[in-house]
Amino acid sequence: MFWRKFVLTILSIIVLATLVAGLEHLYFTKFKPHPSVKWGVNFSQYYAQQKLGLGWKLAYLEILDQLKAKRVRLMAYWDLVQPDNSDNYNFSDLDWQIEEAGQRNVSVILVIGYRVPRYPECFSPEWLKEYPVDSQRQARINMLKAEVEHFKKYGNIVAWQVENEYLLKIFGKCPPGNRDTLKSEMALVKSLDNRPVLLTTSGELSSWLQEGTLADILGISIYRTVWSGYWFYHGYRAYPLPPDFYRWKQYYIEKFVDKVIVTEMQAEPWAPGANELKDISWQEQDKSMSLDKFNEALSFASKTGIDEIYLWGAEWWWWRKAQGDDRFWERAKEIIQAGN
C-alpha cells in the first residue's frame, strides 16, 4: 500500500510539473516574428457595398493599386450569382474582380459554396426557400458545379475554398453542416479541376482535425478581441491565447494537410450586438480595434509560425480613410508591401 501511494504521488508530481512547464512555455516564451510572412487581404463585394455603403469597385481597385496586395481572397455569394432560379448565372462582378487581380499578377483564393465569409455566412437566394429539401440540395450542387466550371479558366486562381467554417456550429445563421456533405462537395470540385481545395475553421474554437484531415490546405481564422452577447459573458472579450497555441496546433495538423494558412486575421473591429461598424462611434470601434490593437494583431500573427496570412478588414480601412482617418490604411500598406 505504501509503495502504491508513493508511486502515485511521484506520478502526480511528474504530471503536474509537466503541466506547469507546458503552461509556462505556452504563456511566457517570447517568439520572434516570422522573417518572411506573405500578407494578403480579404475582399467582400457584399460587405463593402451593402454594409459599409462603399463604391465597391473603387475600394477594390485601391486595395490592389495603393496597398499593392499580391494575394486576395474573394467570395462568390449565391444570392448575387444566381438571383433567380434560372441557369443564367451572373458571374460578371466576380469576373471583373478576378480579371483586375490577374492584370496585376495578384493571386486569388475563391470561396465557393453555400456558406461564405461575412455574417450571416449563408446567402441563399430568396427563391430557394420555395423548394423542398431535396431540390435545395440539388440546386446547391448545380451552383457549385457552375462556379467551378466557369471560373476555372482563370489561371490566377490558386485554390478553391469550399464553404467557410462549414462545420462550426456556433456562428452564423446557417443550417448545421456535416462532414459527409463537405466531402462530397470537395470530391465534386476535385473532379472538375485539379487545383488545391482549401477548407477553413476557427483558430480558437476548433481542434482543426475535422477539416485538416480532408483538405489540401487548411485555413484558420484568428481573432484577438470579440464581442459576446451571452448573459454569462456579456461585452468585449480578449482571447488569452499566445502565438504558440497556433504553432502547436499547426505542428500536429501538418501531418495530415499540405499547408496551413491564416485566411482571416482580425484587423477590423467587432461591432457589439447587431450593430454595423459604420453606425458606431470610432471610440466604440477602438475598444476592439484601435491602432495599437491593430499593430499588436500584426505582430501576434507574425509570431504564430504561419507564413501566409490574409488580413480581415480591408474594406473597413478604406471606409475609415474615406472618413478622414488613414492610419489603418497606411499601416496596412506598409506591412503588405514589406511582405511582397
CB-CB neighbours of 114 under 10 Å: 25
Query: How many Cβ atoms sit within 10 Å of the Cβ of residue 266?
Result: 25
Task: Give the pLDDT band of residue 4 (cuts 50, 70, 90).
Answer: low
Residue 277: per-residue pLDDT: 95
pLDDT in tens, 14-71: 443 344 445 545 555 555 566 689 999 999 999 999 999 999 999 999 999 999 999 9
Give residue 66's pLDDT.
98
Q: What is the pLDDT of residue 31?
A: 53
- Please check the confidence at residue 231 and state whether its pLDDT lies above 80: no
Reported as a pLDDT band with limits 50, 70 and 90, residue 171 is confident
Report the chain's C-alpha Rg in angstroms. Answer: 22
CATH superfamily of 33-338: Glycosidases (3.20.20.80)
- Average of per-residue pLDDT across 252-279: 95
Q: What is the pLDDT of residue 340?
A: 82
Q: Extract the C-alpha cell encoding 239.
A: 482571447
CB 101, CB 72: distance < 8 Å: yes
What is the percent of the chain where pLDDT is above 90?
Answer: 82
Give the pLDDT band of residue 250 (cuts 50, 70, 90): very high
Q: How far apart are CA 24 and CA 20, in angstroms?
A: 6
Domain ranges for the chain: 33-338
Average pLDDT, the chain: 91
